[in-house]
């Protein structure tokens, strides 16, 4: 079940981040995100447990996808696709011109998901992300966007 998350969902959201994100967002940062009027957090539940979430922020002309995360034991079932659909709907309600995101160049799974949803690559930021593992180099960010028709 998809729904908008609110302050009450902070503990579940922080638990999902700790389980599935690297690095996880802090509880304080998540609390701020949930309270921000220009940000929406959408969650997806399975049997009463939060198993995925997406964060989208409203910018002056555009919207930005700031997080998309699905619990490892619930991946490849289409949940990220559903969350992304809800984020796109929200950005359309805001009348955003485009939905923007940045993703690690090595995150082939996420890039495939975004391409499938219609995003195209706008460019790269060289060495934007810190290394994922000790001994690895910094990683490029791929900048992607999806134009939204403003009906
Ligand atoms: C990326 C992520 C959100 C995908 O979640 P998901 O629920 O498994 O994705 P979906 O099941 O909706 O995938 C839809 C399509 O995206 C593509 N895709 C998703 N994950 C993929 C992977 N690991 N490898 C290749 N393609 C993948 C496929 O085309 C997939 O369709 P298919 O399963 O019919 O082949 C999830 O792996 C995750 O939380 N990763 C860690 C956090 C992260 O990297 N977030 C994105 C940061 S910008």
User: Which residue in this structure is represented by tokens 């940000």?
Assistant: 39
Using H for helix, E for strand and C for coil, what is the string for 2-37?
Answer: EEECCHHHHHHHHHHHHHHCCCCCCHHHHHHHHHCC
Ligand 1 within 6 A of CB of 69: yes
pLDDT on residue 134: 86
Q: Which of 53, 49, 52 is nearest to 72 (CA)?
A: 52
Distance from residue 129's CA to the centre of ligand 1 (Å):
20
Helix or strand (DSSP H, E) at 118: none
Name the residue of 42, 110, 128 to mutate for ligand 1: max ligand atoms within 8 A of Cβ: 110
Is the predicted pLDDT of residue 151 greater than 60, yes or no? no
Ligand 1 within 6 A of CB of 116: yes
pLDDT digits 0-9 by tens, 28-73: 999 999 999 999 999 999 999 999 999 999 999 999 999 999 999 9
pLDDT on residue 132: 86
Ligand 1 within 6 A of CB of 4: no
Cα dist from 76 to 12, 109, 130, 146, 150, whole Å: 21, 10, 27, 22, 31
Domains (range + CATH), the chain: 2-147 (3.40.630.30)
Cβ contact 112:145 at 8 Å: no
pLDDT on residue 135: 87
Distance from residue 103's CA to the centre of ligand 1 (Å):
12
Ligand 1 within 6 A of CB of 77: yes
pLDDT digits 0-9 by tens, 88-115: 999 999 999 999 999 999 999 999 999 9
């Amino acid at each position: 079940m998809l729904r908008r998350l609110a302050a009450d969902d902070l503990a579940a959201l922080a638990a999902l981040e700790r389980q599935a994100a690297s690095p996880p967002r802090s509880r304080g940062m998540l609390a701020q995100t949930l309270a921000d009027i220009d940000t929406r957090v959408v969650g997806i539940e399975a049997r009463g447990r939060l198993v995925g979430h997406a964060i989208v922020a409203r910018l002056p002309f555009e919207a930005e996808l700031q997080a998309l995360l699905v619990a490892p034991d619930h991946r490849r079932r289409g949940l990220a696709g559903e969350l992304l659909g809800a984020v796109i709907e929200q950005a359309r309600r805001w009348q955003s011109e485009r939905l923007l995101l940045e993703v690690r160049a090595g995150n082939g799974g996420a890039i495939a998901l975004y391409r499938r949803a219609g995003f195209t690559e706008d460019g790269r930021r060289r060495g934007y992300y810190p290394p994922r593992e000790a001994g690895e180099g910094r990683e490029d960010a791929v900048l992607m966007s999806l134009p939204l028709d403003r009906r």
